[in-house]
Homo-oligomer: A and B are copies of this chain.
Amino acid sequence: MLHIRDMALPVRIASSALADDGAITTAGDFHQWFSQCVEKDESQVTRIPFSELSGWRFEEQTGNLVHHTGKFFSVRGLQVRTENRPVTEWSQPIINQPEIGILGILVKEFDGILHCLMQSKMEPGNCNRVQLSPTVQATRSNYTGVHRGSAVPYLDYFLDAEPRHVLADVLQSEQGSWFYRKRNRNIIVEATGDVEVLDGFCWLSVGQLHDLLTVDDLINMDARTVLSCLPFSGVGLCAIFPFDAEPLRSGLIRSISEDQGTLHTSSQIRSWITDSRVREDVETKLVDLTGVEGWHRSEDRISHETGTFFDVMAVDVQAGNREVLSWTQPMIESRNLGVVAFLIKRIRGVVHALVNARVEPGYLDVVELAPTVQCTPENYTHLPPEARPPLLDEVLSAPPDLIHFDTVLSEEGGRFFHTRNRYVIVEVPPDRDIEAPNDFRWMTLHQLAGLMQHSHYVNIQARSLITCLHSLLREPKRAAG
């Protein structure tokens, strides 16, 4: 049964997205609070050689990098055989973390506006140490107490949620190039009673979060993926937006709220995804880290012989306000800035994003929908020019007035060290044709939202960019010139 509350939900979310000054936290309050959080952070993160890892070791026979409890995660090898790719066979280190963590945002209405309880959280991989994260961001090891830390605050809101207070609840994948079949539970729960605001937490409207998305390295990856699952789409959304919005914004509103005006039907999109999964003949196999070819282990890093892709390295963390006070851990470090971009286009007045059916070896189901461009340009320098990702140059050479979003954001600071991407949204003028290969399709945000109710469809980078696209709802973009 469709409850009245369900029907109103997209409207409530859209109202929160339009509230760029919160009902209980002003922009000024936020900046003061966040500056204090940054000041209070006394963490020290130091690169260390592997030999200084404590509790972690390279297993003698396999070479795998493991924790002595067998919990958390391990760094293993992955052997990949594929077709239709520039490189058809390779092996690589990969993070194996079979347990499913929770990324949860608690929301609550204040003065008729939904607010998200956000946390200022130190993560060792963050280049600026403290970023804004969901209410709860916990691995199963965290919350079952494997590392003997303190209890995870607010966790019970998510574990014991009343079904009718759950606004979103779906397992979503993470980076398929670095993780083997990792996924986290993305969950949003509405609180009805009083909620105590603990030190390090703050209520912000969706509009405020969208504003803060334009600040480099502030809204962390986990917050972006959970926010992308907010059920924006639905009936009645158009009613609260001005009808005279400029074309891009009104095209975006239609793209989010309507089931109409799509270039391909949703059934055609699903058939295309099925076809991609059948055609892409990818075999992957977890192997021992010693069996990985082309990668070399030195005292303090495991790197590819070309110096590209990523490194496995280790850090020592001294932290005052984390569940445990100090620890060491391995991390993944990507040396170069990546580019993650959507080309968008108004088609019959409705904004469509160009998505790519992308193979990453760590995906559970072969292919997920990725942004138009998702790459680290430097990784292609040792490959022939025809291996260069399609449409990368379209993004890099876009004129400024067609770039609607352009912020450098960090990947998860718990596993990735100083690993950042430039997130970009570039508009293609309606009269301009883009030649895209068969593994690309123009889709509306409503179609993407439909798929994001399920697992294994929309990858983590695309989900981040969808949150960025939602952020364009908040104010008209100045016209060209």
A residues near B, CB below 8 A?
1-3, 6, 98, 100, 163-164, 166, 168-171, 185, 187, 231, 259-265, 267-268, 270-272, 274-275, 277-278, 283, 364-365, 453-456
Contacts and interface: CB of A to CB of B under 8 A. Distances in A.
6 contacts: A1-B265, A100-B277, A171-B274, A171-B277, A185-B278, A364-B365
B185 A283 contact: no
Given A98-B283, A364-B364, A1 B261 contact: yes
Given A171-B274, A171-B277, A265 B6 contact: yes
Given A170-B274, A185-B278, A454-B454, A2 B163 contact: no
A270 B170 contact: yes
A189 to B, nearest CB: 10
A267 B185 contact: no
Contacts of A2: 259-260, 265
Contacts of A277: 100, 171
Count of this chain's copies in the oligomeric assembly? 2
A98 B278 CA distance: 11
Q: Report the 7 A-B pairs with minimum CB-CB distance, sorted nearest first.
A: A169-B271, A163-B268, A169-B274, A166-B271, A100-B278, A454-B454, A1-B262
Contacts of A283: 98
A280 to B, nearest CB: 10
Contacts of A272: 163
Contact of A274 (B185, B262, B274): B185
A1 B274 CA distance: 20
Nearest to A457: B454
B3 A270 contact: no
Contact of A169 (B163, B170, B270): B270
Contacts of A1: 260-263, 265
A268 B1 CA distance: 10
A278 to B, nearest CB: 5
Contact of A455 (B164, B260, B365): B365
A267 B166 contact: yes
A268 B453 CA distance: 11
A231 to B, nearest CB: 8
A259, A260, A270: most-surrounded residue (chain B CB, <10 A): A270
Chain B CB within 10 Å, residue with most, of A98, A168, A264, A265? A265
A231 B455 CA distance: 22
B163 A3 contact: no
A138 to B, nearest CB: 12
Contacts of A263: 1
Contacts of A3: 265
Given A283-B98, A364-B365, A455-B365, A164 B268 contact: yes
- Looking at A187, A267, A453, the one whose CB has the most chain B CB atoms below 10 A away is A267
B100 A268 contact: no
A88 B274 CA distance: 34
A47 to B, nearest CB: 34
A454 B365 CA distance: 12
B453 A270 contact: yes
Nearest to A102: B278
Nearest to A189: B271
B275 A169 contact: yes
Nearest to A451: B454
A113 to B, nearest CB: 22
Nearest to A455: B365
A259 B168 CA distance: 19
A364 to B, nearest CB: 7
Nearest to A163: B268
Nearest to A277: B171
Contacts of A169: 267, 270-271, 274-275
A270 to B, nearest CB: 6
A268 B185 CA distance: 15
Nearest to A286: B285
